[in-house]
Amino acid sequence: MDSSSSHALNESLHICSESHEDRRLYMQDKPHSAYAQLPVIYFVTPTYPRREQIPELTRLAHTLLHVPRIHWLVANDYERCDTYMDMLLNRFGIPFTHLSSPMPHKFRSTKPAPRGVANRRAALQWIRQHNLTNGVLYFGDDDNTYDLRLFSEIRQTQRVSMFPVGLIADYAVSGPVVRDGKVVAFLDSWVAGRRWPVDMAGFAVNLAYMSLYPNVNMPYKPGYEEDLFLRSIGLHIDQIEPRGMNCTEVLVWHTQTKSKKAPIVRLEKKFLDGRSNLGALFRSLKEMGVASVSDTEGPLATISKNGKGKAHSYFLS
């Protein structure tokens, strides 16, 4: 079937692993059971392999650990299922779904590339396949910083709620302009014709509302993902619910982590056995995509004692 004539969203879905069990006993000093009546927040996190991936997800998980009634959709921009990621996600005890959602090849080389779009489309597809019409959808990138108050603010979303995002572009903020409790305009340094000039982290959507729009979509159009997504769900400005004390508070920050290439460290493989910790340490760093070792490439690893570097054999043989 021609994808343009059917649903605009037409992703194949690759679920790597999931858990619907919440193994956390307490959240914010209350037992699990105290939250049973709350609507679920579906927190969609696009992520991709690079050396900062595991640290970012660890930090984000430690935020989400405090958030009751959450389902974490982690969509990885990777062709395969990363088993290390499965282990990591399982350890937290937060209900999650791990999707493999690689960016289509034709977009890899475009500049700018549509970052995180294949991932979010896969998550939207998962939501549709499960016929979810209860709860709240939020797109939370792996590198942002989330105030715990954000979650209580978005949980009561009736249609679409919006709020300021800190550290965006030239004004260090992007968000709605509110008068008399109503959104009347937007403050964002990059308008570019967008009707909804907001950041991905600056809104949340009620799933019952979203289900009224079967053509919900997020096209591969860098810079316009938010705008086109919000257009695809028929949003009207007077329906927007301003959050965070009428958009006076910043509850989410567009922090960005400095990215660096994973190094190759020169260290003789013959020493990476059970005689020291280094074999196991570098095997795990390799699995996380943080660093690798080589006999012949990369800067020679310095191993020192009392301020003096010595031959590897001195400590390791």
Give the residue numbers annotated as catalytic, written as ranges.
226
Reported as half-sphere exposure (CB side, CA atoms, 13 A), residue 100 has a value of 12
Q: How far is the CB of 117 from ligand UGA (least distance, A)?
A: 7
Question: Hey, which residues between 52 and 91 contact ligand UGA (CB under 6 A)?
Answer: 77
* Partner from ligand UGA, Mn ion, none contacting 46, C-beta within 5 to 8 A by type: ligand UGA
What are the beta bridge partners of residue 145?
Answer: 253
Residue nearest to Mn ion (CB): 143
Site membership for ligand UGA, residue 14 (CB under 6 A): no
**Which residue in 113, 115, 85, 114 sits closest to 99, CA to CA?**
85
How big is the site for Mn ion, counted in residues (CB under 5 A)? 2
- Which of 18, 52, 82, 141 is the binder for ligand UGA (CB under 6 A)? 141
User: x-or-dash pattern for ligand UGA, window 252-291, by CB under 6 A?
Assistant: --x-x-----------------------------------
Within a 10 A sphere around the Cβ of 246, how many other Cβ atoms? 15
Q: How far is the CB of 300 from ligand UGA (least distance, A)?
A: 32
**Which residue in 156, 167, 168 sits closest to 242, CA to CA?**
156
Locus of tokens 């460290």: 265
Q: How far apart are CA 160 and CA 205, in angstroms?
A: 5
Per the structure block, which two tokens stand in for 235? 């949003």
Residue with Cβ nearer ligand UGA (48 or 72): 48
* Partner from ligand UGA, Mn ion, none contacting 95, C-beta within 5 to 8 A by type: none
* Partner from ligand UGA, Mn ion, none contacting 216, C-beta within 5 to 8 A by type: none
Residue nearest to ligand UGA (CB): 116
Q: How far is the CB of 171 from ligand UGA (least distance, A)?
A: 15
Q: Looking at the chain, how many residues does it have?
A: 317
**H/E element holding 18?**
strand 15-19
What is the torsional sign of CA 176, 60, 19, 99? positive
Site membership for Mn ion, residue 143 (CB under 5 A): yes
Site membership for ligand UGA, residue 225 (CB under 6 A): yes
Question: Hey, which residues between 37 and 56 contact ligand UGA (CB under 6 A)?
Answer: 46-48
Question: Hey, which residues between 177 and 206 contact ligand UGA (CB under 6 A)?
Answer: 199-200
Q: How far apart are CA 239 and CA 226, in angstroms?
A: 17
Locus of tokens 């715990």: 148
* Partner from ligand UGA, Mn ion, none contacting 142, C-beta within 5 to 8 A by type: ligand UGA
Per the structure block, which two tokens stand in for 71? 């389902």
Angle at which helices 83-92 and 53-64 cross, to 10°: 20
User: Could you give the dihedral angle defined by the CA atoms of residues 79, 83, 88 and 93, in that order, rounded to the nearest 10 degrees?
Assistant: 100
- Which of 143, 153, 227, 241 is the binder for ligand UGA (CB under 6 A)? 143
Residue with Cβ nearer ligand UGA (22 or 86): 86
Chain contacts with Mn ion (rule: CB under 5 A): 141, 143
